[in-house]
Structure 1
Amino acid sequence: MSAFLAQLGARCHPFEGSLIRRTWQSCRQFHGSQVVLARRDKKKVVPLTKPQLAAKARKKALKAKKSIYASEKMTLEDAVNVLRAVEVAAPESTYELVVKTLMVKGTTVPRGRYSLPRETKQTGHDRILVFAEGKAADEAKRAGADIVGGPELADGVISGRHQATLFLCTPDLIRAITPKLGRVLGPRGLMPSERRGTVTANISGFIRKLKGTSEWRGDKAGTIRAPIAKMHFPITDVVKNVRYFLNVIKEATGNLVDPDATSKKGANKKPPTAITRVVLSSRQGPGIEIADA
């Protein structure tokens, strides 16, 4: 028996430990460590912040299909006809005129007053406060000013007791009220100034000129928006309103210069504020750029 076992052992191959190690390394290892379990957990969805949501909405708007009129220019009459066709079921809808100006460093925001040849709605009444004394104060009261007084009114304006939509001042009182009201009325665009014409000796004439007019002003980007006509207006009235308002803006931005004013000494030689786009639109209609603005 022992001889048989000796012969059998001689025929067997020697043990190779490396083969067993390779087999062990090729086997898949299962374990319940925290690292593997953490990978199996679902990721928590973090809600987007408001700035991120706004950025996402802007990207979506850029990818959205644009109107066929987005890059097309039309004459004013053609644009009016297109918008009338779109708003055929809404005769009380309003045309809106958008004028974009180029705002560079040092350019003041354009603003002014206008009275359309055919008004779209009844103009509002300005509540006028006038800083004036003596004869000028009496004339301001007769012209229709709501509040008239001297520098003593400044404290009431600061506290909110005296409220107005328009402030006028005579030249002799402007230095007295500026230290107190400059920081209060300045940011609101209501501080009397010679550039705007609200510092004047002819207070009564200025007030009479304001009656029946509306104020327009651009935003910080230089964009001016104004309701310009009703949809049921004849085309000639719409065109007349648009042309009138564009001329008002061109005068205020220096694009339409009075030849008599330039011949005078000391004429303002400030460079004009360029008008880049003029767009006519309506409530349901597209914005159409005007080619002959």
Structure 2
Amino acid sequence: VHFIHDTITVDPENPGKPGEPINPGKGSAVYPDGTDKAGLTDTVDRTISYKMSDGSKAPASVKDSLTFTASKEIDKVTGEVLSTEWSKNQDFKDVVSPDVTGYTPRVKTVSNKNVAHDAQNIDVVVIYDADAQKAKVAYIDDKTGKTLKTDSLTGVTNAKSGYTTADSIKTYQALGYKLVSDDTKGAEIVFDNEDGKDQSYTVHFIHDTITVDPENPGKPGEPINPGKGSAVYPDGTDKAGLTDTVDRTISYKMSDGSKAPASVKDS
């Protein structure tokens, strides 16, 4: 009488029970380790994390996974695993990096293909770089309508420029200008996230005035203001130019030629 060893195939839908008998007969071989549902299933997890180069808030992470199954042929007499066949390699779905206004991801699309059941879990970090930004500040003379100067600034999204209008305003005030308005309100300019659109600010001035009189005269030819290149006091603003004298002389004459009273002079 000849026999061969019968076999049994297990898979996640029909798993074994490791350590328990394969056959009903007394002394049967038992199911080996790795023949339960867990041992017949592999999962490869993928986590895509997003990170902003400047530390600002990033998009939420994306997590997904692939599940693989195996079928094992077992010798029913010995309990030996004769063969193991895993499901074929799989592809993760491509994930397009989310749009973040003013930032550009270093990886546009995360793609993981031909992943095997025994692959390590996948961790991908996508870094976003801040986009280049520009700003300009124009200083305007409202009396003439002319632009005194324009400062151009360059930087990146959400970065501080290190620039305020304070020093320029002081410079123009020292030349006799009076501040009317400042779009920046004196605050440091911070670059926005609008790609392709430069930030624009204006600072407006009018011409300030000074009043001179004999008690507070000017000095013709000398600077009016402390700033370098200041206008000078014009002629006629010194004490002499601010003072006029009208003299009056009253003379007396006698019709008969006799001695008359002394003249009276005032001014």
Larger-gyration structure (1/2): 2
Structure showing the higher strand proportion among its residues: 2
TM-score norm. by structure 1 comes to: 0.19
Structure showing the higher helix proportion among its residues: 1
